[in-house]
A and B are shown apart, each in its own frame.
Chain A
Amino acid sequence: MDEKWCLGCHLCEYYCAFAQTNEKDMARALKDRKIAPRIQVEDSGNVHFAVSCRHCKEPLCVKACITGALSVEDSVIRIDPDRCVGCYTCVLICPYGAIAPAIAGATAPEGGGLVVQKCELCLQNKMGTPQCVQNCPNAAIVYEDRG
Chain B
Amino acid sequence: MRYMIIGNSAAAVGAVEGIRRTNVRTDSGREILLISDEPRHTYSRPLISYWLQGKVTEEKMRYRGLDFYDKNGCILLPPKKAVRLDADRKKVFLAGGRELDYDRLLIATGSSALVPPIPGLETVEHAFTFMSMDDAVALRKILTAETRALIVGAGLIGLKCAEGIRESVRSVQVVDLAPQILSSVLDETSAKMMQDHLEKKGILFDLSNSVDRFDQNRAFLRDKTQIEFDALVLAAGVKPSADLVKNAGGRVGRGIVVNDKMETSLPGVYAAGDCTESLDVSSGEIKVMALLPNAYMQGECAGVNMAGGTASFTQAVPMNAIGFFGMHALTAGVYTGETYVDQDQEHYKKLFYGGNHLNGVILINREEKAGVYTSLIRERTPLDTLDFDLLCRQPGLAAFAQTGRDAILGGVL
Whether B395 is near chain A, meaning CB under 8 Å from some CB there, is yes
Whether A85 is near chain B, meaning CB under 8 Å from some CB there, is yes
Whether A67 is near chain B, meaning CB under 8 Å from some CB there, is yes
Whether B215 is near chain A, meaning CB under 8 Å from some CB there, is no
Whether B405 is near chain A, meaning CB under 8 Å from some CB there, is yes
Q: How far is the CA of A141 from the CA of B372 in the complex (A)?
A: 22
Whether B390 is near chain A, meaning CB under 8 Å from some CB there, is yes
Q: How far is the CA of A88 from the CA of B363 in the complex (A)?
A: 12
Q: How far is the CA of A60 from the CA of B292 in the complex (A)?
A: 12
CB-defined A-B contacts under 8 Å, sample of 29: A2-B410, A3-B402, A3-B405, A3-B406, A3-B409, A47-B402, A49-B397, A54-B408, A60-B293, A63-B293, A64-B293, A66-B10, A66-B46, A66-B292, A67-B47, A67-B61, A85-B47, A85-B50, A87-B321, A89-B319, A91-B370, A92-B371, A93-B371, A97-B372, A97-B396, A100-B368, A101-B328, A144-B410, A146-B410
**Once the chains bind, are A89 and B321 in contact (CB under 8 Å)?**
yes
Whether B323 is near chain A, meaning CB under 8 Å from some CB there, is yes
Nearest 5 A/B pairs, CB to CB? A97-B369, A64-B293, A95-B375, A44-B398, A94-B371
**Number of residues of chain B lying within 8 A (CB) of chain A:** 48
**Once the chains bind, are B398 and A42 in contact (CB under 8 Å)?**
yes
**Once the chains bind, are B398 and A47 in contact (CB under 8 Å)?**
yes
Whether B232 is near chain A, meaning CB under 8 Å from some CB there, is no
**Once the chains bind, are A66 and B319 in contact (CB under 8 Å)?**
no
Binding site for B on A (CB under 8 A): 1-4, 42-44, 47, 49, 51, 54, 60, 63-64, 66-68, 82-83, 85-97, 99-101, 142, 144, 146
**Once the chains bind, are A88 and B328 in contact (CB under 8 Å)?**
yes
Interface of B is mostly: helix
- Pick the contact of B330: A83, A86, A88 (CB < 8 A): A88
Whether B252 is near chain A, meaning CB under 8 Å from some CB there, is no
**Once the chains bind, are A51 and B375 in contact (CB under 8 Å)?**
no
Binding site for A on B (CB under 8 A): 10, 14, 44, 46-47, 50, 55-56, 60-64, 292-293, 296-297, 300, 319-323, 328, 330, 332, 367-372, 374-375, 379, 390, 395-398, 402, 405-406, 408-412
Known contacts A3-B402, A44-B398, A47-B398: A91-B367 contact under CB 8 Å:
yes
**Once the chains bind, are A42 and B14 in contact (CB under 8 Å)?**
no
* Most B Cβ at <10 Å: residue of A4, A49, A51, A99: A49
Q: How far is the CA of A68 from the CA of B293 in the complex (A)?
A: 11
List, in ascending order, chain B residues with CB within 8 A of A49's CB: 397-398, 405, 409
Q: How far apart are A145's CB and chain B's nearest CB, in angstroms? A: 12
**Once the chains bind, are A63 and B412 in contact (CB under 8 Å)?**
no
List, in ascending order, chain A residues with CB within 8 A of B368's CB: 97, 100
Q: Which residue of B lies closest to A116 (CB)?
A: B367
Q: How far is the CA of A87 from the CA of B372 in the complex (A)?
A: 17
